Chains A and B, each alone.
Chain A
Amino acid sequence: MNHDIVNDRRRFLKATMSGLVISALPISLVRLSYAAQGGSDFTFAYISDAHIQHVKGTKFVRNWDRGLIRAVAEANLLEPKPDFVFFGGDLAQLGTKAELDHGAEILSGLKHKMHAILGEHDYYLDLGEYWSKLYGDHYRSWDHKGVHFIALNSIKTYDKWTFDRWESPERRMHEMAGLDNPNSSPFMVGEKQMKWLQKDLSKVSKNTPIIIFSHSPLQKIYKGWNFWTEEADEIQQMLKPFDQVNVIYGHVHQIQYNQIGNIAFNSVMATAWPWPYPETYAQAESHLPILTVPMNRADPFNERDATGWQFMNVHSGRVDLEFSLHNNTNRKVAFNEAAGHPQDMSYVDPANRNPAQRHY
């Protein structure tokens, strides 16, 4: 199956002339041209980790606002229209109503149907209560064009930490918000949701493609920064019998991908800011998936560098990711059917890598 992705400058210009701010938009918007259109082939967009942060009164951190506003404006230009847009969690920074409302307001500019999951920054103030009013259930599943979708709340943790340890919800939120905070606690799906997942999967035939959205990686990369989910191994076991499983996760604010058996893992970028790869922390040991060709290091003098959003091409039960990176080279990580794993299309040959991909 061959889907050519072509730059479509004409269409882009047409769209910008209909009133959008030209300076804020990229020249490299992409259009899918379908060589063969199967029943379960479709596209969707993925925006994640906006971290909308309240300063005071009507003021929010401008930098994070700009990232989300730009992703929404660009996703609206996609042609053909994606079937839906998914938001991958961490809409807010400290989970307040003001932040969630402000973020939801920006996201409401999307012309497409939207789904969302919780990030830890949305959750630990009121345990997702206000978020639910905006985006519904914390976890759920649905079917779309022959693909079984599962959206998880993977950022829960031990009850003792959540309910007994902190004197106030604000304190609990602050403790979880610090990525490197030793007082924080590892992410979990939790017993109740694990049972639900088992039951949900039992109704799905083994050859139905599955796409799972979780905020944290369902693989263990580095516990110190919660690039981690406690039940990752059990969940991978549950998914083992299925022919094609795809896990898409946020939280890490960087490009990662991996293949474990039939499960393809892909992370997405943040609209707010990029994060260092865990192996750059000299005092710790981490396990970045060996397949990953890293994102380019960001230029600190350009606030939008290495932030962005993704659009996803689902074909034959697998997902290709097109990273639309503001002020940085766009990347495409596609599933290589022959190799059986995701692959960065520009850097299949290691000789093509550039010095900006050396993280230390």
Chain B
Amino acid sequence: MKRITIFMVFICLAGPSFADEFTQADADRWMAEFNLVAEEGRRLWSSPEIGTNGVACGQCHPNAANTHPETYPKFQKQLGRVIQLWEMFNWCLRNPLEGKEMAADDPRMIALQAYALKERRGVKLDPGKH
């Protein structure tokens, strides 16, 4: 036990040489990358192109309100299980938009989620909440 503790302390002291080093400029660049994707998400959110009947997510969810991304994963009684946010996106995509589901890693699905989460920034995580 004692030996492990000493070993850990050693790693911490030696930290800087192992750490992921980045500058403020890096952080800004990465945020800009995120914002580009969120912006594309906003475009898709307001566009009829992901459905087939001309309806857009934004028609019912202005500023992505009422999507509650901070509550996922959560139980949806109609599906009878705990689901991820993207699965709920697919529900609305298939039904009001009469569209085709997207894979979890579809860049458009990632963009839609980036946008919805950005509009929800600052709200504390509350998984499972209804």
Residues of A whose CB lies within 8 Å of any CB of B are 53-55, 59, 61-63, 93, 178-181, 224-225, 273-276, 278, 280-284, 297, 299-301, 303, 355, 359-360
Contacts of A180 in B (CB 8 A): 58, 62-63
Residues of B whose CB lies within 8 Å of any CB of A are 46, 53-55, 58-63, 65-66, 68, 76, 78, 88, 91-92, 95-96, 119-123, 130
Contacts of B65 in A (CB 8 A): 276, 278, 280-281
Contacts of B91 in A (CB 8 A): 300-301
Q: Which residue of B lies closest to A283 (CB)?
A: B119
Q: How far is the CB of A270 from the nearest CB of chain B, in Å?
A: 10
Given contacts A178-B46, A303-B95, A360-B68, A282 and B58 within 8 Å (CB-CB): no
The dominant DSSP class at the A interface is loop
Complex contact A61–B63 (CB within 8 A): no
Q: How far is the CB of A42 from the nearest CB of chain B, in Å?
A: 35
Complex contact B54–A275 (CB within 8 A): no
Q: How far is the CB of A179 from the nearest CB of chain B, in Å?
A: 4
Q: Which one of B60, B63, B78, B123 contacts A273 once the chains associate, using CB atoms below 8 Å?
A: B60
Complex contact A53–B55 (CB within 8 A): yes
Complex contact B54–A301 (CB within 8 A): no
Given contacts A54-B54, A61-B54, A282-B120, A273 and B59 within 8 Å (CB-CB): yes
Given contacts A282-B121, A301-B78, A61 and B62 within 8 Å (CB-CB): no
Complex contact A55–B46 (CB within 8 A): no
Given contacts A281-B119, A282-B121, A276 and B62 within 8 Å (CB-CB): yes
Bound form: Cα–Cα A53–B98 in Å: 14
7 pairs of A and B residues whose beta carbons are closest in the complex: A180-B62, A276-B65, A276-B66, A301-B78, A179-B62, A281-B65, A180-B63
Q: How far is the CB of B75 from the nearest CB of chain A, in Å?
A: 13
Q: How far is the CB of A286 from the nearest CB of chain B, in Å?
A: 11
Bound form: Cα–Cα A274–B60 in Å: 7
A-B residue pairs in contact (CB < 8 Å), sample of 6: A59-B53, A93-B54, A178-B46, A224-B63, A276-B61, A301-B91
Complex contact A281–B54 (CB within 8 A): no
Complex contact A63–B68 (CB within 8 A): no
Q: How far is the CB of A99 from the nearest CB of chain B, in Å?
A: 11
Given contacts A61-B53, A301-B78, A280 and B96 within 8 Å (CB-CB): no
Complex contact A281–B63 (CB within 8 A): yes
Contacts of B123 in A (CB 8 A): 282
Contacts of B63 in A (CB 8 A): 180, 224, 281, 283-284
Bound form: Cα–Cα A224–B63 in Å: 10
Contacts of B95 in A (CB 8 A): 300-301, 303
Q: Which residue of A lies closest to B61 (CB)?
A: A276
Complex contact B58–A178 (CB within 8 A): yes
Given A181-B46, A276-B65, A283-B122, 15 more A-B residue pairs with CB atoms under 8 Å apart are A59-B53, A63-B55, A63-B96, A93-B54, A178-B46, A179-B59, A180-B58, A180-B62, A273-B60, A281-B63, A281-B65, A282-B120, A282-B123, A355-B130, A359-B66
Contacts of A54 in B (CB 8 A): 54
Contacts of A297 in B (CB 8 A): 66
Contacts of B54 in A (CB 8 A): 53-55, 61, 93
Q: How far is the CB of A278 from the nearest CB of chain B, in Å?
A: 8
Q: How far is the CB of A68 from the nearest CB of chain B, in Å?
A: 16
Q: How far is the CB of A296 from the nearest CB of chain B, in Å?
A: 13
Bound form: Cα–Cα A301–B78 in Å: 7
Q: How far is the CB of A262 from the nearest CB of chain B, in Å?
A: 32
Q: Which residue of A lies closest to B79 (CB)?
A: A301
Complex contact B66–A282 (CB within 8 A): no
Contacts of A224 in B (CB 8 A): 63
Q: How far is the CB of A120 from the nearest CB of chain B, in Å?
A: 14
Bound form: Cα–Cα A181–B58 in Å: 10
Contacts of B130 in A (CB 8 A): 355
